[in-house]
A and B are shown apart, each in its own frame.
Chain A
Amino acid sequence: MAYVIVGSCVNDAACVDACPVDCIHPAPGEAAFSGTDMLYIDPDLCVDCNACAEACPIGAVMPAIKLPVEWQRYREINAAYAREHRR
């Protein structure tokens, strides 16, 4: 099912600290962090623990099945980032 970061993300990165499986990127300290438009969750690594959603100060992380219509496209965008950057 996985979680999805949506377009209101402000790169606070509290989710990165909370994630137990390091599936949110770019993380602070990675070269891509400073210029990124937002952060992305790798849906294949996400373990649905909800920690990121709780950590996000503005509610910009949501379960994929509960995405409101205006954020639907972000499911594929998160997945696309992960595909391109999987190490």
Chain B
Amino acid sequence: MSTAPLRVAIVGAGPAGLYAATELLKRDDRAKVDLYERLPTPGGLARAGVSPDHAVRREVIEVYERLAMASGRYRFRGNVEIGRHLSPAELGAAYHAVIYASGAASDRRLGIPGEDLPGSHAATDFVAWYNAHPDAADRTFDLGGERAVVIGNGNVALDVARMLLLGPERLARTDVADHALQALRGSRVREVVILGRRGAAQAAFTAPELMELDLLDDIDVVVESAGDLATADLDFNRTLRMQRIGEYARRAAMGRPKRLVLRFLHSPVAIVGDDRVRGLRVVENRLLRREDGQWRAEPGDTVAEIATHLVFRAVGYRGAPIEGLPFDERRGVVPNERGRVSPGCYVTGWIKRGPSGVIGSNKVCAQETVRALLEDFRAARLDAPQHSPQQLERRLRERQPEVVDYRGWKAIDASERAAGLEQQRPRVRYSTVERMLRATRPAQNAS
């Protein structure tokens, strides 16, 4: 068995990748970890998914990054795309093992007519846009209508609704993207309808997110077609969720200037409009209990149309295949056994288990993957690296001269925070890779 220290590459610097890095550095005190990320900034969905009004939850990333850095055996390799600057095969040959933590970045589609009309969007695009993700900076959303509809009953739907309704005064205190702040200042949206095909008891909104809506004193939360509001058969969390929805359902509208409508038991049938979205056709459902105890939505005969210019689908994320790895098309994940795809190749996070859970769920997930990896390493099932770290680095720099390391990222971080100070905001987020890179070049920055 080789006595050379374990060298591991992790692809994707979101919560899943960072949890895997810190776990590995903790469990093997000689292991060296390089964390590759397509963007110059780490954080993944903690940076580009978590809402600006929930920014405290992003700090989890900073803590684990500091932990990784403190080991002295961790390197961040930002602005490097695996599959473009380095192939998965090159990466595999240069390390004992590669862990893919590339997430599930694309959205699930509805599969109904009109889905591609202007005004119909993936919620993930809107989220990326208001969080200044470079891929989404040039998107536009027509905020000129009074009503928007969000299809889906998870926390992303609530995020989208809140961002549409919070208003510029609240948003201006956050690190929302400048282009989004500007667009939302001019927004005429006063009502957001969140549509769920099943009842309130089946919704995936978490209790804290539902409770938080109560603090927004200019928004009426309205509950429609909730179905059975009883909590008798529900576990603690679902009871808590239902109690909150029940509170809103029993409360009379207070005539506040904005409304957030939770409409349950309705499915979208078609997005209507000729040249752009004019409305959403929905059908009322009833719930049927399946043999396995799950509740299924069965469409009835009552069809209605909701007038709107803006429709977001928030019905889930979906993983994308990775070159050279098997892929389960139906589930949108890489098939694996406790994180192991094959000895030397591993997955963790959403690409491993599908898009579920919260940030911290990725920690347990990463622990399992790292355990499998270390088992393989200790049983001498991993091939030793064929290239030295210097050889790989040289090849990488030839193809990507602007690799952003930890210092480079911290320069971007400091620059964003400094820009925020002037505006009394936590930070001003850079929404293009070019602007980020400029912050990493101190000499040119001085002028």
Contacts and interface: CB of A to CB of B under 8 A. Distances in A.
Check if A and B associate.
Answer: yes
A85 B235 CA distance: 11
A11 B206 contact: no
B236 A84 contact: yes
A80 B208 CA distance: 15
B60 A12 contact: yes
A81 B207 CA distance: 13
Contacts of A70: 212, 215
A52 B358 CA distance: 19
Nearest to A36: B237
Given A36-B237, A38-B206, A81-B236, A10 B57 contact: yes
Contacts of B241: 37
Contacts of A85: 236
Among the interface residues A10, A32, A58, which one has the most CB atoms of the partner chain B within 10 A?
A10
Interface stretch (B135-143, B178-186, B359-367): B359-367
Interface in A4-27: 6-13
Interface in B1-45: none
B50 to A, nearest CB: 9
A11 B236 CA distance: 16
Among the interface residues A36, A37, A73, which one has the most CB atoms of the partner chain B within 10 A?
A37
Interface in B214-240: 215, 235-237, 240
Contacts of B363: 12-13, 28
Interface in B336-371: 357-361, 363-364
B236 A8 contact: no
Contact of B211 (A9, A34, A35, A73): A73
Contacts of A11: 357-361
A59 interface: yes
A60 B56 CA distance: 9
Interface in B385-444: none
A85 to B, nearest CB: 7
A28 B63 CA distance: 20
B59 interface: yes
Interface of A: 6-13, 28, 32-38, 57-60, 70, 73, 77, 80-81, 84-85
Interface of B: 54, 56-57, 59-60, 62-64, 206-209, 211-212, 215, 235-237, 240-241, 357-361, 363-364
14 contacts: A6-B208, A7-B208, A7-B211, A8-B54, A8-B57, A13-B360, A32-B235, A37-B240, A57-B62, A70-B215, A73-B211, A77-B207, A81-B236, A84-B236
